[in-house]
């Protein structure tokens, strides 16, 4: 690998709110136990009908809240709780000036809130006879904005809506903000909510004969900063963000996820000066059907099969389809695979979706020796 990793962004802390539970420890335990967190919930639209979903256990669907939070949707409540977990783990502060601390969040927003608000404007006698307190939750950036207000983060605040690419795009955006000196510390990640409205939408999107996977909620947030800043603030780097790459393809023009992902990963390894022989861990999206087969084919052609010593993880099968939070869960899995210790060798995160693919590469923090993480496929 090339020198200069000390100048790259690092992940120095993280937490998760997932169907495995609350916090990084619960995520590590669920990953290590290969626990299937997809459960059966009762249908909201057709009571008595079971629906398979990955929901955050014990998280209240509705509760009164306090003044100023009563009207918040589930997504915003989940994000507030998740950001609170990260900051609480850091002693209540990220250790930088509020103006230099920001947030980059990928999400699809709250579909239910938007539908309910729009529906009310049609049902009432006048279109403006709506609950104005609910309006902020219809904005996609509500979750990130409320988290910044709650925790006093006055730096850049960015919300990305990019579907299954969102969790990795957020890391790329964070790297740009740090390189440009627009922030010193960033909370970076993705979050989604579970509602039956979203489950029905996913079913409609898979209406081409495929079966919609169980929908999952939750998310993961990472503290991303430059290595020098992390050391100055007393945090130990867990992984170096070496780079991200994305690529589009058009099936009608002869493109496919296999070729696009191979090109994407090849370019990423070349950009970062990393040899494929250095990789000991791959965390893939592994969707069901042809897309998953093409992702697997691309990785085999690049890295070889499990017999070549590259450990593979696919947490999405045990958590459910989490939209933009899916890649964030994959990054969390790469960090959790080594327990609470820093990454010991480069780890590759990949995703494939209709018309687009992406990859991110994490490396061991500067100054740490590279070691193999073991063999096997999960």
The pLDDT of residue 196 is: 85
* Average pLDDT score over residue span 134-153: 83
Pairing of strands 281-284, 218-226: unpaired
The token pair at 126 is 């006048």
The token pair at 3 is 């020198």
In tens, the pLDDT along 50-75 reads 889 999 998 875 544 444 555 688 89
C-alpha closest to that of 144 among 90, 100, 190: 190
Give the whole-angstrom CA distance, residue 200 versus residue 285. Answer: 21
Whether residue 305 is predicted with pLDDT greater than 80 in this model: the reply is no
> What is the residue whose two structure tokens read 């493109």?
255
> Mind giving me the DSSP string for 312-355?
EE-THHHH-B-TTHHHHHHHHHHHHTTTTSPP-S-EEEEEEETT
Whether residue 156 is predicted with pLDDT greater than 90 in this model: the reply is yes
Residues 6+ apart with CB under 8 A from 83: 103, 147, 150, 151, 187, 221
* Average pLDDT score over residue span 160-167: 93
Whether residue 139 is predicted with pLDDT greater than 80 in this model: the reply is no
Q: State percent of the chain over pLDDT 90.
A: 68
Apex 321 CA angle, 140 and 42, nearest 5: 90
Give the whole-angstrom CA distance, residue 172 versus residue 104. Answer: 10
- Kindly provide the b/e burial profile for residues 267-294, where b requires at least 16 CB atoms within 10 angstroms of the residue's own CB: ebbeebebeeebbbbbbbbbbeeebbeb
* Average pLDDT score over residue span 106-131: 67
The token pair at 114 is 């938007």
Q: Are 2 and 363 in contact (CB under 8 A)?
A: no
The pLDDT of residue 131 is: 64
The pLDDT of residue 208 is: 58
Q: State percent of the chain over pLDDT 70.
A: 82
Apex 247 CA angle, 252 and 359, nearest 5: 135
The token pair at 195 is 């509602």
For residues 176 and 213, the model is more confident at: 176
Around Cβ 130, how many Cβ atoms within 10 Å? Answer: 19
Pairing of strands 281-284, 347-353: parallel
- The rounded mean pLDDT for the chain is 87
* Average pLDDT score over residue span 163-187: 96
Whether residue 377 is predicted with pLDDT greater than 60 in this model: the reply is no
Residues 6+ apart with CB under 8 A from 20: 26, 27, 29, 30, 31, 35, 37, 319
Per-residue pLDDT band for 352 (boundaries 50, 70, 90) equals very high
CA atoms lying within 13 Å on the CB side of residue 113:
24
Give the whole-angstrom CA distance, residue 366 versus residue 227. Answer: 8
The pLDDT of residue 372 is: 43
Give the whole-angstrom CA distance, residue 79 versus residue 162. Answer: 17
Strand segments, DSSP code E, in 155-236 are 157-160, 185-192, 215-216, 218-226
């Amino acid at each position: 690998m090339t020198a200069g990793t000390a100048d790259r962004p690092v992940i120095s802390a993280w937490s998760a709110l997932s169907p495995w539970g609350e916090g990084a420890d619960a995520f590590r335990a669920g990953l290590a136990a290969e626990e299937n967190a997809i459960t059966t919930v009762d249908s909201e639209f057709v009571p008595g009908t079971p629906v398979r979903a990955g929901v955050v256990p014990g998280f209240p669907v509705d509760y009164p809240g306090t003044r100023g939070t009563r009207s918040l949707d589930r997504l915003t409540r989940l994000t507030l709780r998740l950001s609170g977990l990260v900051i609480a783990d850091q002693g209540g502060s990220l250790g930088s000036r509020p103006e230099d601390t920001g947030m980059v969040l990928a999400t699809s927003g709250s579909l239910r809130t938007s539908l309910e608000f729009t529906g009310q404007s049609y049902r009432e006698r006048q279109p403006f006879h709506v609950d104005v307190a609910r309006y902020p939750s219809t904005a996609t950036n509500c979750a990130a904005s409320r988290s910044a207000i709650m925790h006093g983060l006055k730096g850049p605040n960015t919300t990305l809506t990019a579907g299954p690419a969102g969790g990795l795009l957020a890391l790329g955006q964070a790297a740009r903000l740090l390189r440009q000196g627009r922030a010193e510390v960033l909370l970076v990640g993705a979050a989604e909510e579970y509602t039956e409205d979203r489950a029905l939408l996913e079913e409609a999107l898979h209406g081409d004969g495929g079966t919609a996977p169980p929908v999952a909620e939750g998310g993961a947030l990472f503290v991303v900063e430059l290595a020098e800043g992390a050391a100055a603030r007393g945090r130990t780097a867990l992984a170096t963000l070496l780079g991200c790459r994305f690529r589009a393809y058009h099936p009608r023009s002869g493109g496919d996820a296999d070729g696009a992902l191979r090109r994407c990963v090849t370019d990423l390894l070349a950009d970062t000066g990393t040899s494929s022989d250095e990789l000991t861990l791959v965390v893939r999206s592994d969707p069901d059907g042809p897309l998953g087969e093409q992702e697997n084919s691309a990785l085999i052609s690049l890295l070889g099969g499990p017999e070549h010593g590259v450990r593979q993880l696919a947490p999405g099968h045990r958590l459910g389809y989490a939209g933009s939070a899916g890649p964030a869960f994959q990054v969390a899995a790469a960090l959790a695979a080594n327990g609470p210790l820093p990454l010991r060798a480069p780890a590759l995160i990949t995703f494939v979706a209709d018309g687009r693919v992406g990859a991110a590469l994490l490396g061991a923090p500067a100054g740490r020796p590279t070691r193999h993480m073991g063999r096997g496929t999960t």
